[in-house]
């Protein structure tokens, strides 16, 4: 059974078809890239999976359970975490306290104070921010803020993590460093579904690639196979992978 499955997912905004009957399945412990030109429906699909938007038709299942129509917080409690393009920490709290908030209100919230602190510190170490635990979030660089966003998502102990252009705004080296953490998380048993506009560094680590174009899924397979597809190349004509 697939960890996450989309069955005929469609979304219409008036006369605009943002998604058209998208079918996909993601297995556990995979890093799956979701790519496509601007306006292809990538973020809309993530919004539907996380419960922020309801599809016009179709459904999404997580661990075999239909999650379409559930509230975002209910979906999060089932084990789906998400990051956003713009990091949104509490600037006047320390890095550690930011993650402690996530731990306290996440699925690890029943732990005692000492255990929650260990959980938060472990998450910071995992994303390379262990030495920044006592710094204010407002003092972090953009790259560090992106990693803090990742640690905040991990604080909820998700089984599936949706990564929505987490590396947006970073220079090439910074993108590579953050995406390297994706591979480390997969090695620890997490499943990751990642959108990246500048997707080349992601393809180095991805197990599979899904490609959307004008709301339609036009490719699904190993990175080398997908990127050799003439249809994918045609979809990206005029697009630049910056």
Q: Is the pLDDT of residue 101 over 60?
A: yes
- With a pLDDT cut of 90, the percent of the chain lying above it is 82
Mean pLDDT of all residues belonging to the chain: 92
pTM above 0.85, yes or no: yes
- pLDDT-derived band of residue 236, with 50, 70 and 90 as boundaries? confident
Annotation: CATH topology of 1-79+167-242:
Rossmann fold (3.40.50)
- pLDDT-derived band of residue 48, with 50, 70 and 90 as boundaries? very high
**Residue 238 confidence (pLDDT):** 54
**Residue 204 confidence (pLDDT):** 94
- pLDDT-derived band of residue 195, with 50, 70 and 90 as boundaries? very high
**Residue 242 confidence (pLDDT):** 47
Q: Is the pLDDT of residue 52 over 60?
A: yes
Q: What is the mean pLDDT of residues 79-84?
A: 90
**Which pairs from 174-183 meet CB under 8 Å and 24+ separation?**
174/142, 174/143, 174/146, 175/201, 176/201, 177/143, 178/143, 178/146, 178/147, 178/150, 179/204, 179/205, 180/205, 181/126, 181/127, 181/128, 181/147, 181/150, 182/31, 183/31
- pLDDT-derived band of residue 218, with 50, 70 and 90 as boundaries? very high
Task: Give the residue extent of every domain in the chain.
Answer: 1-79+167-242, 86-157
Q: Is the pLDDT of residue 146 over 80?
A: yes
């Amino acid at each position: 059974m697939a960890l996450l499955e989309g069955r005929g997912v469609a979304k219409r905004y008036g006369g605009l078809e943002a998604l058209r009957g998208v079918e996909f399945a993601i297995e556990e412990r995979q890093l799956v890239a979701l790519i496509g030109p601007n306006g292809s429906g990538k973020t809309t699909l993530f919004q539907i999976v996380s419960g922020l938007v309801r599809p016009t038709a179709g459904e999404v299942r997580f661990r075999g359970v239909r999650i379409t129509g559930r509230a975002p917080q209910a979906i999060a409690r089932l084990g789906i975490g998400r990051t956003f393009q713009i990091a949104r920490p509490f600037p006047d709290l320390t890095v550690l306290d930011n993650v402690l908030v996530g731990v306290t209100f996440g699925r690890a919230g029943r732990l005692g104070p000492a255990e929650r602190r260990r959980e938060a510190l472990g998450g910071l170490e995992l994303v390379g921010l262990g030495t920044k635990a006592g710094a204010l979030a407002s003092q972090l660089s953009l790259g560090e803020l992106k990693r803090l966003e990742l640690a905040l998502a991990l604080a909820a102990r998700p089984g599936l993590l949706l990564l929505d252009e987490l590396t947006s705004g970073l220079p090439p080296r910074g993108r590579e460093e953050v995406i390297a953490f994706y591979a480390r998380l997969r090695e620890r048993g997490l499943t990751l579904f990642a959108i990246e506009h500048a997707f080349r560094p992601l393809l180095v680590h991805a197990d599979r690639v899904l490609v959307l174009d004008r709301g339609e899924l036009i490719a699904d397979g190993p990175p080398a196979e997908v990127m050799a597809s003439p249809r994918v190349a045609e979809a990206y004509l005029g697009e630049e992978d910056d």
